[in-house]
């Protein structure tokens, strides 16, 4: 809230300035051109600065396309990440640094565009819009919920219209693949737990707004290089995470922390038979959920002889009530063998597990029906 209020006051103060000489004097006094040039930035406008980093060894496959919608190619991807003046999406929040990653020739290019002061936001956005034109699909981390909305809002508040086209938000994939195995799905957790990245001397994201406002208030440029490096690493991590997810979906990699059940189910939903092997691997590794999903897949396909041993193993090794019910239904209705159905169903009551009233009632009704069939 304080940072948003400061940004609002700064805009009002700028609006009160009259005369080009006063504006020029303010620009000269406030924009640390020499400092930015020393950090590798070049001038793109009075308040807009950019720098480019060329990365030759990036590991990006030229044909990576499992995640890309439609007929687009990886050359139409743009990875993006914003550094903002606040963590909310309010009207007082704006972004002052954007990182963009894209393929150019055989190289990965990371371009960072910095807003030296708020009065230059219009020219800043015009420059960014030109840079974004190269992309057809935009890759982010939580960008669908935050970055893209802020981007669109800032364009609108400056009398400009812009909306990102297709988006791939890797946060959704992180949640799908690692929600059950990581402490949380922040990019930092994914870096440490999956990508093997441990940032040294990294500035925490929540400190970045205060660093920028300190620079605006007092001209303190000391911490800014850490902000630039933080943003650069965000883009590099996005690229590495994208490559990993592509490899996982293609079956080329399978990190131990990956949720086999979630991945296998997604692949089968996409009519990709490799989902069967993913679920088999998960079940062999002790994930009962993978075994249950695999058994239900076999059931839907009418492959009963493949489903039956999975249900038996789930019952014997995991005390799976759902597998007990599946076995009871199979023997009662398909094989017309109520004695076998009763044998499997009775295991639940022998286990003496805590059951919800609804589940207990359903199991008792099933058992009573089987008893009647056996007595007739």
**Residue 342: pLDDT band with limits 50, 70, 90:** very high
Q: 152-179 burial, b if ≥16 CB within 10 A, otherwise e?
A: eebbeeeeeeeebeeebbbbebbbbbbe
- For residues 70-81, give the mean pLDDT: 93
Q: Taking the C-alpha atoms of 66, 70, 76 and 79 in order, what is their torsion angle to the nearest 10 degrees?
A: -60
At 278-300, the pLDDT tens digits run: 999 999 999 999 999 999 999 99
pLDDT at 60: 79
- Could you tell me whether strands 137-140 and 166-169 are parallel, antiparallel, or unpaired per DSSP bridges? parallel
State pTM to two decimals: 0.86
- CA gap 260, 176 in Å, rounded: 10
Q: Which domains does the chain have, with CATH numbers?
A: 2-250 (3.30.420.10), 260-375 (1.25.40)
pLDDT at 163: 86
- For residues 123-140, give the mean pLDDT: 96
Of 60-64, 152-156, 314-318, 354-358, least confident by mean pLDDT is 60-64
pLDDT at 29 over 60: no
pLDDT at 6 over 60: no
- For residues 109-136, give the mean pLDDT: 96
Note the residue count of the chain.
376
Please calculate the CA angle 334-339-341 and round it to the nearest 5 degrees: 50
pLDDT at 103: 93
Q: Which two tokens stand for residue 92?
A: 């007082």
Sign of CA dihedral 137, 138, 139, 141: negative
- CA gap 372, 376 in Å, rounded: 6
At 41-66, the pLDDT tens digits run: 999 999 999 999 999 988 777 666 78
Name the average pLDDT for the chain: 91
């Amino acid at each position: 809230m304080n940072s948003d209020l400061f940004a609002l006051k700064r805009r009002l103060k700028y609006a009160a300035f009259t005369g080009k000489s006063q504006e020029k004097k303010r620009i000269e006094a406030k924009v640390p051109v020499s400092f930015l040039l020393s950090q590798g930035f070049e001038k793109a406008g009075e308040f807009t600065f950019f720098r480019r980093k060329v990365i030759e060894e990036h590991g990006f496959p030229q044909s990576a396309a499992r995640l890309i919608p439609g007929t687009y190619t990886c050359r139409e991807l743009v990875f993006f990440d914003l550094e903002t003046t606040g963590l909310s999406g309010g009207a007082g929040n704006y972004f002052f640094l954007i990182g963009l990653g894209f393929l150019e020739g055989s190289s990965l290019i990371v371009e960072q565009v910095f807003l030296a002061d708020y009065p230059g936001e219009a020219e800043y956005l015009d420059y960014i819009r030109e840079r974004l034109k190269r992309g057809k699909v935009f890759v982010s981390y939580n960008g669908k919920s935050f970055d893209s909305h802020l981007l669109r809002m800032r364009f609108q508040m400056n009398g400009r219209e812009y909306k990102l086209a297709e988006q791939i938000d890797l946060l959704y994939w992180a949640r799908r693949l690692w929600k059950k195995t990581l402490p949380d799905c922040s990019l930092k957790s994914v870096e440490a737990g999956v990508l093997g990245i441990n940032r040294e001397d990294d500035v925490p994201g929540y400190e970045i707004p205060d660093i920028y406002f300190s620079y605006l208030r007092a001209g303190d440029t000391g911490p800014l290089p850490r902000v630039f490096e933080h943003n650069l690493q965000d883009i590099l991590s996005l690229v590495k995470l994208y490559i990993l997810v592509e490899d996982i979906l293609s079956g080329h990699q399978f990190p131990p922390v990956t949720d086999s059940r979630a991945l296998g189910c997604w692949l089968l939903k996409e009519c990709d038979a490799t989902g069967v092997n993913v679920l088999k691997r998960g079940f062999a590794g002790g994930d009962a959920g993978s075994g249950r999903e695999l058994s239900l897949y076999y059931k839907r396909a009418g492959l009963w002889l493949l489903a039956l041993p999975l249900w038996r193993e789930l019952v014997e090794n995991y005390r799976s009530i759902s597998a007990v019910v599946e076995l009871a239904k199979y023997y009662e209705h398909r094989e017309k063998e109520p004695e076998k159905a009763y044998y499997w169903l009775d295991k639940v009551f022998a286990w003496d597990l805590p059951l919800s009233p609804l589940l207990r009632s359903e199991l008792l009704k099933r058992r009573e029906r089987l008893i009647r069939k056996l007595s007739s």
